[in-house]
Amino acid sequence: MLRITGGTVHDPANGVLGVVQDVCIADGRIVPKVEGGRSIDATGMVVFPGGVDVHTHVAGAAMNFARGITPENYRRAIRFIQTPDRRAGLGGITPTTFATGYMYAGMGWTTVNEAAVPILSARHTHEEMHDIPILDKSSLVLMANNEIVLDLLEAGEVERARQVVAWLIWAAKAYGVKAVNPGGIVAWKSGKNAGALSEPVEGYRKVTPGRIISGLAGIIDDLKLPHPLHLHCNNLGIPGNVGTTLETMKVLEGRRAHLAHLQFHAYGGDGWGTLRSEATALAEAFNARTNLTADAGAILFGDAMTVTADGPWEHVLHQLSGRKWSNVDVENETGCGIVPYTYKERSLVNAVQWAVGLELLLLIDDPWRIFLTTDHPNGGGFWRYPELIRLLRDADYRRECLKRLPPKALERMVLPDLDRQYSVSEIAIITSAGPARALGLSRKGHLGVGADADLALYEEKPAAGRMFEYPRYVIKAGEIVVEEGEIRAVTQGREFIARPAFDEQIEAYLRPLFEKVYTMSFDNYAVELERLAQPDIHPCRP
């Protein structure tokens, strides 16, 4: 039992915007009142629901591949020395699993959504997530380049595709569906890509990226999954790609969807020399479409690791940057590309990218629909979120930063004209309440009675941007896990998974197809529920 007294509570989901009130906790949940137990005097602190990361990459085959090819990065990473209660680890741009838990919790974040899991290696992802302490986790499986699903869309068998998608989600013990560069990864397996939404995908006659997007978004809505289609649009990172993004938004009309790392999809121009921000046009279209949510995917100057299922894009980035390139094509399902990258202030392109992320966060007027991410580790490490918050909270600081950019870059952006500053409550929305709602996690992102007792307490500071740098206390499931910047308790979090309804007969249809294209036995494909330490199943009732 725990009582937090005298803090300024920001619980926007329940309409509490900076009110001094007590928060009571018992058995890991928020309760109306408690008798006895420990009390924390939070006078002079703000009380937030624990942070929720709607889009990050922390576990699984791709991250582990990135770790393996960059041992040099760990030489200057934060070290976590083992103690009797705490495993050792290393931070850096691709932290080890234990360090990932300590670093997210150390920043006040308590729930993360791993956004890209191939079903073939989902077992591996769950093994890694088991080794991420403290945090609650969920994961999304990659589906927009699964050839079995695409074949069904080609044949117009949408009902059967829905059954297959539902079966695959449960097989992977995932929470939702991610679509990455729809059709583009299939094409990449023949050395090509998919750009235009209305042109057939390589190897298909009827299926287009647009058809994959609308098909999957519809299936996911019909299956009543808690989180809508999580979409990485076509043409990521390419100058002039805003056209594709706007067209994608039209394709999604009437359906729910979450657009991932929007920053990478908001560029104008027709080449690297003419790249410019199109955040204004994109934000305008986005503001008008309430069926959509998005996360920023902002970049920060410094080292990053680009890791994505978007294989063809990583080959382009390798050719542009000359940095080492890795690629893994995954049979029947997806692919993966990895290139270490450094965003530089003096680079015209990088300067525009930096501005676009902030512009989207400032121009999209409903904070309930745009969330704070860096698409970790693609735009920068998640542990740099406090830097982003400072940029959003302090327009003067933003102007200081703009002075360091190439003057030519300032003509390609609108950031210098934006005066908006995020309020403390708005920060609580874009880091916790909003993403929790978009993920359909009803016990996360708020402090109402019955919510999970995940909280972060920050000291109020006069400098608007600085107070989120590190929390005084972090509470996870009612337990104080971080106090005064130190890990106090290492707990095991839960894993959220979804169980959409499907007809068991679909296995008989899948088995022969599976054995034709895969190299493992069908019976070894699905992850056994017993492999998850603490599963929390969302039933998806229609």
Partner 1 sequence: MGGKVTCTLGEVKNRADFIVYWGGNPAECHPRHFSKYTLTQKGRFVPEGRKGRTMVLVDIRETPSGRAADIFLQLRPGKDFEVLTTLRALLKNQKVDEASVAETGLTLAVLQDLVDRMKRARFGVLFFGMGISMTRGKHMNSAAILRLAAELNAFTKFVCMPMRGHGNVTGSDMVLRWTTGYPFGVSMSRGYPRFNPGEFSTVDLLVRGDNDAALILGADPGATMPQPGIDHLARIPTIVLDPKVTHTSRLARVHITTAATGISAPGTVYRMDEVPLPLRPILKSPYPTDADVIQRIRQAVAAKPAWTPAPTARIANA
Instruction: Characterize 199-225 residue by residue with b for buried, 16 or more Cβ atoms within 10 angstroms of its Cβ, and e for exposed.
Output: ebbbbbeebbbbbbbbbbbbbbbbbeb
Q: Which of 7, 51, 101, 106 lies at the binding interface for partner 1 (CB under 8 A)?
A: 106
Cβ atoms of residues 267 and 276 within 8 Å: yes
Q: Interface residues for partner 1 in 416-445 (CB under 8 A)?
A: none
Residues in 44-83 that interact with partner 1 by CB under 8 A: 59, 61, 63-65, 67-71, 74, 77-83
Least CB distance from residue 78 to partner 1, whole Å?
A: 6
Select 12 or 386, whichever has its Cβ closest to partner 1. Answer: 386
**Residue length of the chain:** 542
Q: Which residue has the tokens 């580790």?
A: 377
Toward partner 1, which CB reaches closer, 84 or 542? 84
- Footprint (CB under 8 A) of partner 1, residues 511-530: 516-520, 524, 528
- Beta bridge mates, 259: 231, 294
Contact with partner 1 (CB under 8 A) among 11, 53, 136, 147: 147
Least Å distance, CB 75 to partner 1, is 9
State the Cα–Cα distance between residues 292 and 236, nearest whole angstrom.
18
Among 25, 53, 98, 146, which residue sits at the site for partner 1 (rule: CB under 8 A)?
A: 98
- Number of residues forming the site for partner 1 (CB under 8 A): 73
User: Does 462 sit near partner 1 (CB under 8 A)?
Assistant: no
Per-position x/- string for 469-498, each x denoting binding to partner 1 as judged by CB under 8 A, each - no binding? xx-----------x--xxx-----------
Whole-angstrom distance, CA of residue 344 vs CA of residue 303: 9
Q: Are 408 and 348 in contact (CB under 8 A)?
A: yes
386 near partner 1, judged by CB under 8 A = yes
Residue choice 57, 255, 384, 412 for contact with partner 1 (CB under 8 A)? 384
Q: Which residue has the tokens 């069904």?
A: 152
Is residue 110 at the binding interface for partner 1, with CB under 8 A as the rule?
no
Binding residue for partner 1 (CB under 8 A) from 51, 92, 218, 493?
92
Q: Least separation, in Å, of the C-beta of 475 and partner 1?
A: 16
Candidate residues 241, 248, 263, 326; the one interacting with partner 1 per rule CB under 8 A:
326
| Residue corresponding to tokens 């206390």 | 473
Q: Which is nearer to partner 1, 80 or 371 (CB)?
A: 80
Residue 335 CB, shortest distance to partner 1, in Å, is 8
If the CB atoms of residues 131 and 507 are measured against partner 1, the closer one turns out to be 131
Closest distance of CB 492 from partner 1, Å: 16
Among 17, 26, 34, 90, binds partner 1 (CB under 8 A): 90
Task: Provide φ and ψ at 279, rounded to 5°.
Answer: -60, -35
- For 120, 130, 184, 240, 471, the CA distances from 123, given in Å and listed in that order, are 8, 11, 25, 38, 34
Residue 190 in tokens: 């023949």
**One character per residue 117-136, x = contact with partner 1 (rule: CB under 8 A):** ---xx-xx--xx--x-----
Between residue 243 and residue 262, which ones bind partner 1 under the rule CB under 8 A?
none
190 binds partner 1 (CB under 8 A): yes
Question: What is the residue-wise DSSP string for 355-375?
Answer: HHHHHHHHH---TTTEE---T
User: Residue from 2, 42, 45, 107 that binds partner 1 (CB under 8 A)?
Assistant: 107
* Min CB(92)–partner 1 separation in Å: 8
Least CB distance from residue 321 to partner 1, whole Å?
Answer: 12
Dump the DSSP string for 107-162.
Answer: HTEEEEEEEEE-GGGHHHHHHHHHTS-S-EEEEEEE-TT-HHHHHHHHTT-HHHHH
Cα(317)–Cα(323) distance, integer angstroms: 8
Q: How far is the CB of 314 from partner 1 (least distance, A)?
A: 10
Sorted by sequence, the CB contacts under 8 Å of residue 465 that are 6+ apart come out as: 389, 390, 391, 393, 394, 397
Q: In the chain, what is the greatest distance between 2 CA atoms, to the nearest angstrom? A: 69
Q: What does the DSSP assignment read for 283-335? A: HHHHHT-TTEEEE-----SEEEEEEES-HHHHHHHHHHH----EEEEETTTEE
